[in-house]
Amino acid sequence: MVSSKGLQQSDEKEALSKSDSQLPILYSFRRCPYAIRARMAVKYSGITVQLREIVLRNKPEAMLQCSSKGTVPVLVLSDGVVIDESRDVMSWALAINDPEQWLPEQHSVLINSLLDSNDFEFKNYLDNYKYADRHPQHPAQYYRAQGEVFLALLEARLKSRRFLIGEKVSMADIGIFPFIRQFANVDSDWFYQSRYRQLQVWLDRFLESEAFLQVMDKYPPWTETSEALVF
């Protein structure tokens, strides 16, 4: 015989399951800088999504059907709309809720300019530096020097302000720090002995933040039989 309490718990679980199934779905990969900044924006905005952690060498067919690019993040909204660019995911989240003004209208041009420099120039130098063995035309130090142009630009900005735009965090900081983290990790001894003192402080501020630590929790890879993981 099933007790009334047992029936109530079963009904609640079923209702929660139905509610979860209507949430937006965010395909992600824990260490990917694009995915990190998307998760940061979603978490900050207080939006609830289903998180699906993937394995890059074994991408789920469900994700590839939504976005043939095969890169993360991929956000599938409850109405079927697909957003598969990380900056668009960030903008979507901030448009819904931006309590601390990460994207102030008066600085939107500068923020997008910095993000463009990161995404379309620095990222290429970062990849060459990180995977220098795949680009034997030059030593790793050569590719690092190319990336240092952007590091120097950020360092100059941080000498007169706490964050890249001013005294408050902006979308520029959130959108760029995961890539600087990756650059620093190629040779952390070099990075923390380099002349980029303000950049080191800035990076560590994010790496030690509760917001970053929360979005870096480890989850098992998603499969078709996995229960919904609410994030």
* Cβ-based burial of 30 (10 A; exposed 0-12, middle 13-18, buried ≥19): middle
In which region does residue 58 sit, left (phi positive, over 0), alpha (psi from -120 to 50) or beta (all else)?
beta
What share of the chain in percent tops pLDDT 90? 90
- The H-assigned helical ranges of the chain are 4-21, 33-45, 61-66, 86-96, 108-117, 123-130, 140-158, 171-186, 188-193, 197-207, 210-215
Please compute Rg for the chain using Cα positions.
20
**Amino acid found at 70:** G
- Say whether pLDDT at 18 is over 50: no
CA distance linking residue 100 with residue 115, whole number of Å? 19
At 25-80, the pLDDT tens digits run: 999 999 999 999 999 999 999 999 999 999 999 999 999 999 999 999 999 999 99
- Say whether pLDDT at 4 is over 50: no
Q: Which two tokens stand for residue 139?
A: 């030593």
pTM of structure: 0.90
The reported pLDDT for the residue numbered 19 is 64
